[in-house]
Amino acid sequence: MYFCDVQIQGTIETDGDDMTEVFRRELNFRELAGYIAQDGRKIRSGMLYRSAALGLLNREERDLFRKLGIRTILDFRSRRAVRELPDPVFENCEQIAMCAAFENFREDLNDSPREFYQMLVDEDQQGNIIAAVVSSIHASLVYSNEAYRLMFRKLLNSEAPLLIHCSQGKDRTGIGALLIMLALGIDDEQITRDYLLSNEYRKSFIEKRISSMRLLHRLSDNVRTAILAVEGVLPEAVHMILAEIRERYGTYENFLLHEYDLQKEDLDRLRNLYLI
């Protein structure tokens, strides 16, 4: 397998009325809508959004953003990231910054830390790269996360349309979207599809990283894994996250009850609010 054979998993399926399609792909800006729940209903359009840092929006995109009527923005980035690239201020919108992980989580991966890329020199290290990424996600994001507790409170209080974002719109935002979809009764296949769409939206970043590392073409499997860990998302990560939740709690409802205090009536309310 050559270096250019990195597979971008996930496909973008939208209808002609999707306003998020006007945003540049690299913003990873999209609507969490249309996915079908177990009860046959689907996620409402115009209620739930996800993206990368809003400070990346150009003037035209900011104007288009205002037309979406978003009432609540939750910024899951670190304090340092918020200082370096603050969100624009939008009128009639509550904007809250609450880091969804320990400070500087994953943001420094883009600086190519020596210990991370050292794994590339050993062809047996691919599993270690995956394990390191999944372990950090599990330890810092998935379980009893105060930022996601806030997210669920806002959703239960009907403070939507709501947008969640982080720096690249893939890790902290991806887990937030995953949790919302679990609460709404969306199946694993659709959750995985949405999670992996970050690789399609961020395809230009992935290809740029590929180009910059062509000298490592002989390490293609490790390079692919490392690139997706830094610039995209790993398919193995979402599979392992969902499998571990099921192993520990048996059902997603049990997980949401114990980790996020979501009672059956809370799940019913969320589904009545955001499914149609």
Give the pLDDT confidence of 132-179 residue by residue, as tens digits.
777 767 667 999 999 999 999 999 999 999 999 999 999 999 999 999
Give the model's pLDDT for residue 10: 43
Give the model's pLDDT for residue 144: 92
Give the model's pLDDT for residue 5: 36
Give the model's pLDDT for residue 95: 98
Contact 134, 240 (CB under 8 A): yes
Average of pLDDT values for 204-224? 68
Lowest average pLDDT, out of 72-76, 85-89, 233-237, goes to 233-237
Rounded Cα gap, residues 187 and 182, in angstroms? 7
Tell me which long-range contacts 215-221 makes (C-beta under 8 A, separation of at least 24): 216/3, 216/120, 217/2, 217/3, 219/120, 219/121, 219/123, 220/1, 220/2, 220/3, 220/5, 221/1, 221/123, 221/126
Contact 51, 162 (CB under 8 A): no
The 10s digit of each residue's pLDDT in 13-47 is 444 456 778 899 999 999 999 999 999 999 999 99
Rounded Cα gap, residues 8 and 83, in angstroms? 32
Q: What is the pTM of this model?
A: 0.85
Contact 151, 74 (CB under 8 A): yes
Q: What whole-number percentage of the chain has pLDDT above 70?
A: 78
Interstrand relation of 48-51 and 72-75 (parallel, antiparallel or unpaired): unpaired
Give the model's pLDDT for residue 207: 78
Give me the sheet containing 94-97, strands edge to edge. Answer: 30-31, 48-51, 162-165, 72-75, 94-97
- What is the residue extent of each domain of the chain? 16-274
Does the pLDDT of residue 225 top 80, yes or no? no
Which position has the higher pLDDT, 129 or 22? 22
Q: Give residue 103's pLDDT band: very low, low, confident or very high (50, 70, 90).
A: low
Q: Give residue 83's pLDDT band: very low, low, confident or very high (50, 70, 90).
A: very high
Secondary-structure class of domain 16-274 per CATH: alpha beta
Average of pLDDT values for 53-81? 97
241 backbone dihedrals φ, ψ, rounded to 5°:
-60, -50
In 3D, which of 40, 16, 176 has the Cα closest to residue 100?
176
Does the pLDDT of residue 112 top 50, yes or no? no
